Structure 1
């Protein structure tokens, strides 16, 4: 397929000249929906495999969720664990992550294979594989990768609002944290987003902080910087040394419970033990932990917002100026028209419907990228790169993704142990294990992992 070259990150020239074009783009091997880090990495490996591939992105520029997030948002771990090879990454913050995604496009010359401002309205199986309809054109391809992410629908609980005077923001919509200064702030949620918002309250001088949660997710309490709170390379060593999962669980829970006790936060310890097969371990937020005693905590739900009062389900009333919803995200795969996916409540349920965590059991020739990576304990670019490489092997005729669906996470280097036995093209027998054992034990901590 010959395509007119686009301007950098811009719409392809033929679509710029004919914005209402309704042509059918046939003969593609692969269409990738979503221009975030996962979609871009998949496009890179599709081109490496010689596939006729096209990426469709609904926005005016690539970046996905990281294009839309406020600049204070950041990743959960060190920049050395996000980036691969020598692709530039200045820091862990949103502008740096966005620049890193753009660097993938520049380094591997992917722009000619990206269509921007093309929102996919439907994707349906057809005789050729898949037919995708956008607001500009239709495209047919044998294979489809849904790389629209797992955090593409901010969740704000449906509550009654009666003459509410309270300013509200979801964590993805708080553009300027200085709005918190000298305000009575209430944070709702019990996971990573809520922990970030609590940290922001103290960093930006909120007058008072109230925290409402139904339950909490596991964190690793630490007084170190957030990005140093979790060292995934320790997990990699455990995995490549074949430490039994039961021993990893015992070590993890002993460490976590001791840290909760030392930090004086036993009252927010989650119910049940931490289980790496189903729980993501969140790094502790130093500001939240150092100021924990000054946080007014309430376990329950918000029922009504009335004037400047939050009315809770237990009848309590809390006065506030600013309400921050740290209630996370949902996933929207509605464009696929698959009822089972639309009914799924979270990424875990979607992943439990995928062979080897990524190949959909609900439709032919469909890969779902996010469920097997997001919310696990791994670096997303590192995992996406390995999965993308094996996806191209599968498309090329080697059945890689054949393990029956299951509900357990596949974390970090265990992902390699899942892919390698079936993907001998990328993981030669015996050699692959020695390679990743060396990376786990000997690769310098301050250097990014190599591009697979």
Structure 2
């Protein structure tokens, strides 16, 4: 074969390689609640798309939560509008397995074009032509639009306080499964949000000695005047709040759907035998130190709780609703000794394990476009990123307080899908 023939054959091969790249108008990265909501709205808008999920649908509900976890909202609330939980009372709290099955059923209902077991390794903008090259474990895909729907729970965060070789077994709440998993000895649970309080209570009920490190938190009632707190936050407009109160961007909510659902009261947890301590601040030579803020954190949580009751009562009066009064809800018991005389230091010799219920950070290392700030966080407005054609979905406060919740992400997805449809219209 002559050199000219070799060059010609190479050119043909290059053309065939380009032609072999799959192309679709939109790629949605993530097959959880955000990805499925996005798929539904893109489908209704007539946008050809693919949903890529590196594991299974709703994988985090399956393998990154403890065994006894249930949804924190009742079944009538924690769902998409188009499908109810079959064979589950609307006021019940779905198990994590039931939630995963729900999303599988929803994907089937909307005929979501989802591919599981496909990991997205990089997204880069094309040079000299529109759209993006999406590299995956199953080969490249070209797309005009990319929606990052991987949600907020991407990288578990364990504060660098206690060295790994300090003695206790340390794990994040995403790796905790059940009390039998942990070695013998007392357990320190760090974090006063829903995960921390539920794990601490489960451990204590199993017979473990438990310390719970309590930081700033909101503490809504599970139910008040015959309505779930999800309903109250809805009618009071709190789910639709567009910006968090100053300084409260990352304040957790202490609420539980466990054991049929109940209001979290740290006095009750202390009465159960859990020792409350302040925020975990430092470690030195086998001694763990806590901030002297426990009483303040408990008091602020109580104030948040009572303020919501006040707003609920005012709403009932203003609208003339016939809802039963509940004066007992305002009866707060005395502070336990661990609050009035808090422990500020703890010898780690008696601690067998530490469960860090300290939240997550995002990880968009695969998104190699100008859509992130210097700290790797999304630059966006209501999910529309600084990089034209790239969108985010499922993040806390993406558009409102409810954005990272099941029903909230569904409504955010419609806004993003509408924006994509508008851009398609301009291009057409």
TM-score by length of 1: 0.64
Question: Residues 199 and 358 of structure 1: is their aligned pair in 2 closer, same or farther, counting only changes over 3 Å?
Answer: same
2:275 alignment counterpart: 296
Q: Distance in 2 between matches of 1:368 and 1:54?
A: 16
Per the TM alignment, residue 179 of structure 1 is displaced from its structure 2 partner at its CA by 4.3
* Match of residue 380 from structure 2: 354
CA distance in 2, matches of 1:372, 1:334: 19
The DSSP-based 3-state class of the residue aligned with 1:202 is helix
- 1:30 is matched with which residue: 23, 26, 29? 26
Instruction: Specify whether residues 47 and 320 from structure 1 end up closer, same or farther in structure 2 by C-alpha distance, changes over 3 A only.
Output: same
Instruction: Name the SS for the 2:51 alignment partner.
Output: strand
Q: Distance in 2 between matches of 1:287 and 1:178?
A: 26
- Counterparts in 2 of 1:327 and 1:379: CA distance versus 1, 3 Å: closer
Is the CA contact (8 Å cut-off) linking 1:27 and 1:141 kept in structure 2? yes
Q: Give the conservation status (yes or no) of the 8 Å contact 2:22–2:141.
A: yes
C-alpha distance in structure 2 between counterparts of 1:30 and 1:379, whole Å: 22
Residue 321 of structure 1 is matched in structure 2 by: 352
Q: Which residue of 1 aligns with 2:337?
A: none
State the partner residue of 1:15: none
CA distance in 1, matches of 2:18, 2:180: 46
Pairs within 5 Å for 1:390-409 = 390-397=415-422
Task: Name stretches of at least 5 consecutive residues in structure 1 with no aligned partner.
Answer: 1-20, 250-271, 401-452
**Equivalence for 1:311:** 288
Q: 2:230, 2:99 → 1: CA distance?
A: 19
1:431-446 equivalences under 5 Å are: none
Contact 1:188 1:325 in 2 (8 A): yes
Describe the shift of the 1:296–1:70 C-alpha distance in structure 2 as closer, same or farther (beyond 3 A): closer
**Corresponding residue for 2:79?**
83
Q: Give the CA RMSD over aligned residues.
A: 3.7
Contact 2:75 2:85 in 1 (8 A): no
* Secondary structure in 1 matching 2:175: coil
1:44-193 equivalence runs, <5 A: 44-59=40-55, 61-68=56-63, 69-84=65-80, 85-88=82-85, 90=88, 91-110=93-112, 113-126=113-126, 127-161=129-163, 163-179=165-181, 183-193=185-195
| Contact 1:193/1:328 (<8 A) preserved | no
CA distance in 1, matches of 2:246, 2:397: 22
2:365 corresponds to 1:334: yes
Aligned to 2:232: 234
- In 1, Cα distance between the equivalents of 2:384 and 2:37? 17
CA distance in 2, matches of 1:128, 1:286: 52
Deviations 1:350-374 (A, max 9, x none): 4xx322x21012x111111022557
- Provide the C-alpha distance between the structure 1 equivalents of 2:212 and 2:135, rounded to a whole number of angstroms: 44
Q: 2:318 maps to which residue? A: none
Q: Secondary structure at the match of 1:390?
A: helix
For the pair shown, which has the larger CA radius of gyration, 1 or 2?
Answer: 2
TM-score (norm: length of structure 2) = 0.67
The Cα of 1:216 is off from its aligned counterpart by: 1.9
Equivalent in the alignment of 1:210: 211
